[in-house]
Amino acid sequence: MDFQPSDDRRMLRDTLTRFLADRYGFEHRNAVAYSEPYHDPGRWAEMAELGVLHALAPEEWGGIGGAGFDIATVFEALGRALCPEPLLGALMAAWILGAAGAGLDSLLSGDTRYALAVDEAGGAQGIESIATFARRNDSGWVLNGRKSVVYGGGSAARLLVAARAGEALGVFLVDSSDAEITRYGMIDGGGAAELYCDNTPAERIVENGESIIRDALDHGALALCAEAVGAMDASAELLLDYLKTRKQFGRAIGEFQVLQHRMVDLMTEIEQARSITVLAASRMGSDGQSRTVSMAKSLIGRVAQQVAEELIQMHGGIAMTWEYPASHYAKRLVMIDHQLGDTDHHLTKVAAEYRG
């Protein structure tokens, strides 16, 4: 048994972490995360040059990684830096394009940004409630329907859209210039979009896509778990540092036992979160993949909220301010539970197996 990362992954982690520290400091992050286009296309290109996107896909598709641990390595570093670049969409799109046998070159080089559009407005979470549908016309396929809160959808040149064609749930490639798109920023930084398809021309790249879509969503959920672990580590460091330096009643607030014990509880929960993410990463590509990813996403949803709330409470007022980084970590940690299924959604999926 060995829980150390391989040399390759350690290098990947160190390179990306250094890049983010040098080129994506907190002030830069806040400057780009909350105003259009809600990320930094220049830094995106630099990250792609480092090979970060290649790390998300296996060699057979032109990448250099693609294992659960590769994905976790990248997203943990992104989470630590609260990086708003739309890598999640690229990751999920890569797993669909790869499975479809389509080319990934322009995705992996960073030249073409992709987003995956699955969720729809006003429905239960999950792919069962997809109503967007595809029809064939003279020149090919057209889509009708609305996709909602498509992360990275505002800056993507191409969108992979899950839509029904008769009984089948397919995946359709839409050029962003052919669709009506409303772009907006998120409360925790970064951007998303509404996508309106009104006889929008599309290319069908997967006919029966249900299991491929689920696989891509599993990879996305794993990435979010790793991102949360990175953000929680950074949060805990901020908080511990503050407990040691903030003085009230003539002593560091970290000397108050009630805060000490809560800090220890947080550390324990963060280790639990790291462990379940490691487990999920290890099961990618195996039979247990989906259920373990759901375990991880459910636990992360719970712990990330606890970390966020304690991060603010134990700091006191200062963590309520925009200027201090803790507030932005707290927002990201809480809002991760609003992406790709929340803690209850995944809990339900984990429990479903008991029914036999």
Partner 1 sequence: MDLNFTTAEIAFRDEVRRFLRDNLPADLSDRVRSGAELGKAEMERWHAILNAQGWLAVSWPVEFGGTGWGPVQRHIFEEECCLADAPRVVPFGLQMLGPVLIKFATPAQQREYLPRILDGRDWWCQGYSEPGAGSDLASLRTRAVRDGDTYVINGQKTWTTLGQHANRIFCLVRTATEGKPQAGISFILVDLDTPGIEMRPIRLIEGGYEVNEVFFTDVRVPVSRLVGQENQGWTIAKYLLSHERTNIAGIGFSVQAFEQVKALARQVRADGSRLVDDPLFAARLARIEIDLEAMKITNLRMLVDAQKQGAPGAEASMLKIKGTVIRQALGDLARRALGPAAAPFPAEALDGNAALVPPDHARNAMKYFNNRKLSIFGGSNEIQRNILTKTKLGL
Ligand X SMILES: Cc1cc2nc3c(=O)[nH]c(=O)nc-3n(C[C@H](O)[C@H](O)[C@H](O)COP(=O)(O)OP(=O)(O)OC[C@H]3O[C@@H](n4cnc5c(N)ncnc54)[C@H](O)[C@@H]3O)c2cc1C
Q: Which helix (H) or strand (E) holds 344?
A: helix 343-352
Centre a 10 Å sphere on the Cβ of residue 255 and count the other Cβ atoms it contains.
14
Residue count of the chain: 356
Pairing mode of beta strands 247-248, 168-175 = unpaired
Residue 27 CA, distance from chain mean position:
21
Cis check for the bond before 41: say yes or no (omega within 30 of 0).
Answer: no
Task: Give the one residue of 14, 316, 351, 352 binding ligand X; rule: CB under 6 A.
Answer: 316
Which residue is at the shortest CB distance from ligand X? 316
State which residue, 6 or 245, has the beta carbon closest to ligand X: 245
State which residue, 288 or 324, has the beta carbon closest to partner 1: 324
CB of 9 to ligand X, least distance (A): 37
Task: Give the one residue of 317, 322, 354, 355 binding ligand X; rule: CB under 6 A.
Answer: 317
Residues that bind partner 1 (CB under 8 A): 34, 119-125, 129, 131, 148-149, 182, 184-188, 192, 194, 247-250, 256, 258-259, 305, 309, 312-313, 316-317, 319-323, 327, 330-331, 334-335, 337-339, 342, 344, 347-348
Q: Is residue 323 a contact residue for ligand X (CB under 6 A)?
A: no
Q: DSSP of 191-212, one letter per residue?
A: EEEEEEEEEEEEEEEESS-HHH
Interaction mask 246-275, ligand X, x per CB under 6 A? x-xx---x--x-xx----------------
CB of 196 to partner 1, least distance (A): 8
Amino acid at 338: H
The binder of 271, among ligand X, partner 1, none, by C-beta within 5 to 8 A per type, is: none
Residues 178-217 within binding reach of ligand X (CB under 6 A):
none
- Binding segment for ligand X (CB under 6 A), chosen from 75-83, 133-141, 155-163, 310-318, is 310-318
Query: Using CA atoms, how far apart are residues 132 and 144, in angstroms rounded to an integer?
Result: 6
Centre a 10 Å sphere on the Cβ of residue 292 and count the other Cβ atoms it contains.
23
Query: Using CA atoms, how far apart are residues 181 and 135, in angstroms rounded to an integer?
Result: 20
The token pair that represents 37 in the structure block: 């286009």
- Residues in contact with ligand X by the rule CB under 6 A: 246, 248-249, 253, 256, 258-259, 313-314, 316-317, 320
